[in-house]
Amino acid sequence: MAKLDHEALLSSLRRQFDGQINELDRTFGLLTIETSKDAIIEVLRYLKTAPELQFIYLTDITAVHYPMNELSMAVVYHVHSLVNQTRIRVKVFLDGDKPQIPSATILWPGANWMERETYDFFGVIFVGHPDLRRILNVDEMDVFPMRKEYPLEDPNRVDKKDFFFGR
């Protein structure tokens, strides 16, 4: 059982960041909060350094594209408090046309590759990142493939029609 319950965690965050924190949900026991791109680094710093929280382990940074939303790009941070045996998910919603957010590499050097991956697949610009370039896809790629703005398949292609496979 987690040594730090959601209420204590939320009230600690609310005390520190009055009005800048929104609770989104607690699906599967994972507390999810939302904050703004102006506050995100301070929120992460507080989560990492506050003695009663100690979320010292950055599990992952990724993004989700919600093309139907006005703020269509969500950057998601998962952090883990090894001491308190609990995790928290922090989301920041950004303008999908120009998604920019400060880099977390000043807090965790390990954020470097996670942010490069998020840039590679979603085009999120991490301001202050030391080396923001593609990490998994070919360097010449000129799209961000995980955005939900491409047809799943080119409707004009004919090379994989059933006809060619005797179906």
Partner 1 sequence: MSDIKLAPAPPGVTGSGFFATTLDKAVGLARANSLWPLPFATSCCGIEFMATMGATYDLARFGAERPSFSPRQSDMLMVMGTIAKKMGPVLKQVYIQMAEPRWVIAVGACASSGGIFDTYSVLQGIDEVIPVDVYVPGCPPRPEAILDGVMRLQDIVRSESVRRRETDEYKALLESYGIYKHG
Residues lying near partner 1 in the complex (CB under 8 A) are found at 136-138, 143, 145, 153, 159-160
Given the complex with partner 1, which of 28 and 165 has the nearer CB atom? 165
- Structure tokens given for 16: 């520190």
Cα dihedral 123, 124, 128, 130 sign: negative
Residue 159 beta carbon to partner 1: minimum distance, rounded to whole angstroms: 8
Output the DSSP codes for 125-148.
Answer: EEET-TT---SSS-TT--S-TTST
Residue 150 beta carbon to partner 1: minimum distance, rounded to whole angstroms: 8
State the Cα angle at 60 between 95 and 9, rounded to 5°. 85
Given the complex with partner 1, which of 27 and 156 has the nearer CB atom? 156
Residue 88 beta carbon to partner 1: minimum distance, rounded to whole angstroms: 32
Given the complex with partner 1, which of 82 and 143 has the nearer CB atom? 143
Residue the block writes with tokens 């954020």: 111
